[in-house]
């Protein structure tokens, strides 16, 4: 077996995220879903938001993405232009009438790039992710893992400065989850966007992130953070990773 | 090549064969029953008499049917097309939906064919009253399909488009219209037959041409083979319209569950 080469991040073009005094209550809800949250994510940093279900971590990600408007406080992502954000969720959200290539090219088309140009860039991105052979297939012809891969290709095709992933591996089997996790790390090391990934899996979080931010049960607040400096790809048997995992789990349990 | 043609032929037979067999059996039963009972032709003609009537003067049925079909299609285009445009506006802006939907339901539950005499009084015996009735009948089903279809979008795809800062116009054409297409085409099938019914009924009230008028006239003269020949022609028109729309569905909706399950059935051993 060949030892995995360390993945060394290139210099970042990512955008910092600054969150201050953020609270959110869904319209008509009696209790708040989130807050108050204060959190800074440095340019090019890879942060995992870890928390039990219903803690508002997905709500927090939607607030960062601008899909929700804060009830109180602010989110600053230092960018006004439309190419700033890449978004990927639990469900692939691929358009079933477009093949993989056309789906991947969609962000570029929406941003006003000519169609031929968009498709060429999309094909290039798919080739690099090993999805080239599937580019003419339609979503209904793909497995769940392949669909999520295509959704990831679409999320990064316009090289966003901020990549937001909402439980992207939740519906996948363990092997596919690990493979796609490695793919996410490679893309991050290569394009160096700022990354925020939401998950309820502590082991996933410590395998991927520079920093794991643990949220309490709803209304979610930050209960603690764990930093992991171990080089990627990471093994769970690595003492530093195992230690981080124990710490993250302890934080998760602390407010239950 | 020939092998493919044989496969295609078999496919066609397996698809239309059962229907064809049933229709043949029904027509034969009818023929024999009339012959045995000895009913007069003006009460119930034999199918063979109807076929004779159709074969004797096909030009008559084609010309009169063409008039009715044109009225129905123009009505369908105006009614369903207008319904889609208004449905798009309603899906986009809720207050408009709240204002218009009750009105649309009132129109829907009113038997609009009963205003046909009034329309004839206003617009005469020409095609205009027929087009209006056909348009009004097709309006409601297409309106509901458009509003519902344009709203039935994948929430994740919607999020992706919004994080990219897509405009309402971009979201409409890239996401809403394709998502609505299955419902719109299903409604179009319903509307196609409704438009023919609307045109025929309007012709009954007052017309100088058209198959509806021809059927009414033949009925007054106890020329029952012509009546049934006319009905058969109208039926064929409906079948052709719906078949054309089904073909369009197969082409445009190759990605949709409705077509995928059919394809799976065709491929099943």
Mean pLDDT to the nearest integer, B102-115: 85
- Chain A residues whose CB is inside 8 A of the B165 CB are 82, 110
Q: Token match 């093949």: residue?
A: A99
Q: Which residues of B touch A94 (CB under 8 A)?
A: 157
Establish if B157 touches chain A: CB-CB under 8 angstroms. yes
pLDDT tens, residue by residue, A174-208: 999 999 999 999 999 999 999 999 999 999 999 99
pLDDT at A147 over 60: yes
In this predicted structure, the answer to whether residue A1 has a pLDDT above a threshold of 50 is: no
Query: CB contact, 8 Å: B264 with chain A?
Result: no
Around Cβ A34, how many Cβ atoms within 10 Å? 27
Q: What is the pLDDT of residues B115-154, one digit of tens each?
A: 889 999 999 999 999 999 999 999 999 999 999 999 999 9
Decide if pLDDT at A3 tops 60.
Answer: no
Cα separation, A19 vs A75, in Å, equals: 5
- Give the torsion sign (CA, B256, B261, A151, A227): positive
pTM of the model: 0.89
Q: Token pair of B245, please?
A: 């729309």
Judge contact between B204 and B216, C-beta under 8 A: yes
Q: In the predicted model, what is the mean pLDDT of chain A?
A: 92
Give A165 to chain B, closest Cα distance, Å: 11
Cα angle, residue B170 at apex, residues B168 and B174 outer, rounded to 5°: 125
Nearest residue of A to residue B154, measured between CA atoms: A93
| DSSP reduced 3-state for A19 | strand
Least confident span in A181-195, A242-256, B6-20: B6-20
Q: Does B163 touch chain A (CB under 8 A)?
A: yes
CA atoms within 13 A on the CB side of A129: 34
Domain B78-267 sits in which CATH superfamily?
Answer: MetI-like (1.10.3720.10)
Interface test with B, best of A99, A105, A106 (most B CBs within 10 A): A106
**Do residues A235 and A229 touch, judged by C-beta distance below 8 A?**
no
Q: Structural domain boundaries of chain A?
A: 29-79+161-256, 94-159
Measured distance CA(B155)–CA(A166) in Å, rounded: 13
Interval A76-89 mean pLDDT: 81
Write out chain B in H/E/C secondary structure.
CHHHHHHHHHHHHHHHHHHHHHHHHHHHHHHHHHHHHCCCCCCCCCHHHHHHHHHHCHHHHHHHHHHHHHHHHHHHHHHHHHHHHHHHHHHHCHHHHHHHHHHHHHHHHCCHHHHHHHHHHHHCCCCHHHHHHHHHHHHHHHHHHHHHHHHCCCHHHHHHHHHCCCCHHHHHHHHHHHHHHHHHHHHHHHHHHHHHHHHHHHHHHCCCCCHHHHHHHHHHCCCHHHHHHHHHHHHHHHHHHHHHHHHHHHHHCCCCHHHHHHHHHHHCC
* pLDDT tens sequence across A92-140: 999 999 999 999 999 999 999 999 999 999 999 999 999 999 999 999 9
The DSSP symbol for A11 reads: P
Which CATH code of 3.30.2320.80, 3.40.50.300, 1.10.10.10, 3.10.290.20 fits the domain covering A29-79+161-256?
Answer: 3.40.50.300
Positive or negative, the Cα torsion across A206, A33, A223, A52? negative
- Encode pLDDT of B161-195 as tens digits: 999 999 999 999 999 999 999 999 999 999 999 99
Cα separation, B5 vs B9, whole angstroms: 6
Residues A123 and A132: beta-carbon distance below 8 Å: yes
Please give the pLDDT value at position A255: 57
Contact criterion met (CB below 8 Å) for B163 and A67: yes
Which residues, in sequence order, are CB contacts of A177 under 8 Å at separation 6+?
A: A169, A204
Q: How far is the alpha carbon of A54 from chain B, nearest alpha carbon, in Å?
A: 19
Average pLDDT (B35-40) is 91
Q: Chains A, B: CB contacts under 8 A, how many?
A: 63
Which site among A75, A97, A153 would you substitute to test the B interface, given the most B Cβ atoms closer than 10 Å to its Cβ? A97
* Residue B268 burial class via C-beta count within 10 angstroms: exposed 0-12, middle 13-18, buried 19 and up: exposed
Chain B partners within 8 Å of A110 (Cβ):
161, 164-166, 170, 174
Interface predicted TM-score (ipTM): 0.94
Q: How far apart are CA B150 and CA B172, in angstroms?
A: 8
Q: Which residues of A fall below an 8 Å CB-CB distance to B?
A: 62, 65-67, 82-83, 85-97, 106-107, 109-111, 138-140, 154-155, 158, 164
Residue B264: predicted pLDDT: 78
Q: Tell me the mean pLDDT in the region B63-72.
A: 97
Res. A256: pLDDT tops 60: no
Residues of chain A by 3-state class (helix, strand, coil), percent to 5: 40, 20, 40
Contact (CB, 8 A) for B86 and B143: yes
What's the CA gap between B94 and B92, in Å, rounded?
7
Contact B129, B120 (CB under 8 A): yes
């Amino acid at each position: 077996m060949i030892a995995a080469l360390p993945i060394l991040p290139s210099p970042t073009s990512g955008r910092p995220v600054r969150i201050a005094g953020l609270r959110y209550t869904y319209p008509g809800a009696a209790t708040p879903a989130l807050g108050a949250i204060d959190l800074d994510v440095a340019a090019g940093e890879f942060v995992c938001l870890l928390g039990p279900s219903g803690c508002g971590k997905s709500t927090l990600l939607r607030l960062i993405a601008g899909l929700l408007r804060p009830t109180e406080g602010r989110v600053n992502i230092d960018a006004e232009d439309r190419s700033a954000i890449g978004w990927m969720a639990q469900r692939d959200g691929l358009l079933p009438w477009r093949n993989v290539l056309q789906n991947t090219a969609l962000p570029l088309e929406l941003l006003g790039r000519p169609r031929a140009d968009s498709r060429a860039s999309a094909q290039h991105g798919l080739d690099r992710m090993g999805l080239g052979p599937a580019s003419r297939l339609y979503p209904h012809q793909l497995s769940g893992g392949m669909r999520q891969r295509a959704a990831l290709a679409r999320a990064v095709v316009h090289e966003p400065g901020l990549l937001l992933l909402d439980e992207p591996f939740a519906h996948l089997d363990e092997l596919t989850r690990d493979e796609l996790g490695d793919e996410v790390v490679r893309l991050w090391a290569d394009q160096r966007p700022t990354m925020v990934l939401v998950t309820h899996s502590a082991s996933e979080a410590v395998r991927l992130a520079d920093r794991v931010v643990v949220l309490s049960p709803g209304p979610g607040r930050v209960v603690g953070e764990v930093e992991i400096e171990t080089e990627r790809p990471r093994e769970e048997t690595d003492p530093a990773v195992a230690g981080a995992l124990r710490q993250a789990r302890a934080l998760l349990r602390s407010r239950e | 090549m020939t092998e493919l043609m044989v496969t295609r032929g078999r496919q066609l037979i397996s698809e239309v064969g059962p229907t064809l067999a049933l229709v043949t059996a029904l027509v034969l039963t009818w023929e024999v029953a009339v012959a045995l009972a000895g009913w007069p032709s003006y009460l119930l003609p034999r199918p063979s008499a109807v076929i004779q009537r159709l074969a004797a003067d096909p030009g008559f049925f084609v010309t009169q049917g063409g008039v009715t079909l044109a009225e129905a299609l123009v009505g369908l285009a105006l009614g369903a097309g207008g319904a889609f445009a208004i449905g798009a506006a309603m899906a986009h802006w809720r207050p408009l939906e709240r204002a218009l939907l009750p009105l649309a339901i009132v129109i829907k539950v009113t038997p609009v064919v009963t205003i046909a005499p009034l329309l004839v009084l206003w617009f005469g015996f020409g095609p205009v009253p027929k087009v209006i009735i056909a348009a009004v009948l097709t309006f409601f089903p297409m309106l509901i399909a458009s509003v519902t279809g344009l709203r039935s979008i994948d929430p994740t795809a919607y999020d992706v488009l919004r994080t990219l800062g897509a405009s309402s116009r971009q979201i409409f054409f890239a996401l809403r219209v394709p998502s609505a297409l299955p419902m719109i085409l299903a409604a179009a099938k319903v509307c196609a037959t409704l438009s023919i019914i609307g045109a025929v009924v309007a012709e009954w009230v007052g017309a100088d041409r058209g198959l509806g008028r021809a059927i009414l006239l033949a009925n007054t003269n106890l020329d029952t083979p012509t009546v049934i020949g006319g009905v058969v022609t109208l039926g064929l028109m409906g079948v052709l319209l719906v078949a054309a729309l089904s073909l369009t569905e197969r082409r445009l909706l190759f990605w949709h569950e409705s077509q995928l399950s059919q394809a799976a059935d065709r491929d099943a051993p």
